[in-house]
Amino acid sequence: MLLPWEYGVRNLMRRPLRTTLTLSALATVVILVFVVVGFIRGLERSLAISGDEDVVLVYSVNSEENIENSSIAARTAALLSASLQGTWKRFGVTHLSPELYLGTRVRTGDDGGGLGLVRGVTRVAPLVRRDVRIVEGRWPQSGEVMVGKLASAKLGATDEALAIGQTVHFEGESWRVSGRFSAGGGAYESEIWCNLADFQTATQRQDLSLVALLLAPGAAASEVSLFCKQRTDLELRAISETAYYATLQQHYKPVRVLAWFVVVLVSAAGVFAGLNMMYGAVAGRIRELATLQAIGYRRRAILISLIQEGMLLAAAASLLAGAIALTTLNGVAVRFTMGAFTLRIDSVAILVGCGVGILLGVLGAMPPALKALRQSVAISLKAV
């Protein structure tokens, strides 16, 4: 015969201070799990949604996957435009974007700032980068920049420091912020865009980092790859934008594995914290447990009741941590080497966090309960 369900619930209410402390400890552990899993899911989503399958990137073959280190001749854009037939053209405009992209120290007006990602572009860039939308202000003119919605997070600055009309400083020049843009959560949102010619002048470079081109319907990226292989003097390589970000997924795989390992470590620490709390809770109830055995309840029934209490407490902590994570952590911007992205508390994060919480309740309650029930009833009734 099992103990009544209400018995375990009433026991939690009988010790409000101990219950509150245990609930807080379990909720803290689950919140830490939410932070780490939200980091992993945010990184994966940022890389997964970045890129356009119809866009091909052409850059230096010597830079491998690091476009920031790429350097190609300025005439590459004109050569590609003249040689390729599969590039999208509309109203006489070829959808081909020459760009200069690099990481540089950016200083904001509030004396803050840090390492930022700056991309020099032309007016054709939004035609190729179809996810980019100006959400505030206007396209930058000479001496102006347009900032992504996560650029402030990448720089470690405030949003007010990058508001329209503010000034940022990089490459020995001062630039006025003319607008803000979004890119559907993609990697571009952590960048700063400016006029290509101005950026080349500021950096004293006349070369490019890459050329991005939009393929026409029915065109294949193989045509671009064939051109790069034929023009060995230019030392170019071509890769679709989705394939490029897929390689970044593999590049950051060790980071994701390490983050999952942190989840395991945090969960293990939570199990030991739960064991400590539950040992203290059971130690003060030895006579109560012995009395239940004396009046006829089997040890299995008492064990199930103690596990029920632990699971109820863990479930309440998981719900509390989930509510806090969804309201305060979801969408928080974090800096990373590739730029910035937002924590994502999605269904997977909720499942992992709550699963860890329930597991803590079961594993934390079982060992101290088994230890207490191993003692004989006569000795336990004499316990102080």
- Residues 304, 364, single domain; the answer is yes
Domain that holds residue 257: 5-48+252-381
State residue 278's pLDDT score.
Answer: 66
- Residues 106, 162, single domain; the answer is yes
Q: Which two tokens stand for residue 59?
A: 């850059």
- Residues 278, 198, single domain; the answer is no
Distance CA 352, CA 181 (A): 33
Domain count, the chain: 2
Q: Which two tokens stand for residue 346?
A: 């999605």
Whether 228 is in a domain gets the answer no
Q: How do residues 299-348 score in pLDDT, each as one tens digit?
A: 777 777 778 888 888 888 899 999 999 999 898 888 877 678 888 998 89
Residue 135, beta-bridge partner list: none
Please state, for a pLDDT cut of 90, what percent of the chain lies above it. Answer: 26
Query: What separation in angstroms does the CA of 336 have from each of 30, 94, 154, 171, 247?
Result: 23, 34, 7, 22, 17
Strands 144-148 and 96-108: unpaired
- Residues 338, 272, single domain; the answer is yes
- Residues 104, 174, single domain; the answer is yes
Whether 235 is in a domain gets the answer no
Q: How do residues 16-43 score in pLDDT, each as one tens digit?
A: 777 788 888 888 888 888 988 888 888 8
- Residues 184, 94, single domain; the answer is yes
- Residues 82, 14, single domain; the answer is no
- Residues 368, 265, single domain; the answer is yes
Q: Which two tokens stand for residue 203?
A: 């950096």
Mean pLDDT score of the chain? 84
Whether 220 is in a domain gets the answer no
Query: What separation in angstroms does the CA of 104 have from each of 1, 9, 191, 203, 239?
Result: 71, 59, 11, 10, 25
Whether 29 is in a domain gets the answer yes
Distance CA 113, CA 155 (A): 5
Distance CA 293, CA 295 (A): 6
- Residues 25, 109, single domain; the answer is no
Phi-psi region of 269 (alpha: psi -120 to 50; beta: other; left: phi over 0): alpha
- Evaluate whether 182 touches 211 at the Cβ level (below 8 Å): no
- Residues 90, 75, single domain; the answer is yes
- Residues 30, 73, single domain; the answer is no
Q: Which amino acid is it at 74?
A: A
- Evaluate whether 259 touches 349 at the Cβ level (below 8 Å): no
Distance CA 92, CA 85 (A): 14
Burial level of 166, CB count in 10 A (0-12/13-18/19+)?
middle
Distance CA 52, CA 54 (A): 5
pLDDT at 5 over 70: no
Q: Which residue has the higher pLDDT, 287 or 348?
A: 348
- Residues 135, 168, single domain; the answer is yes
Which of 195, 214, 233 delimits the end of a domain? Answer: 214
Whether 247 is in a domain gets the answer no
| Residue tagged 């590049």 (tokens) | 251
Q: Which amino acid is it at 351?
A: L
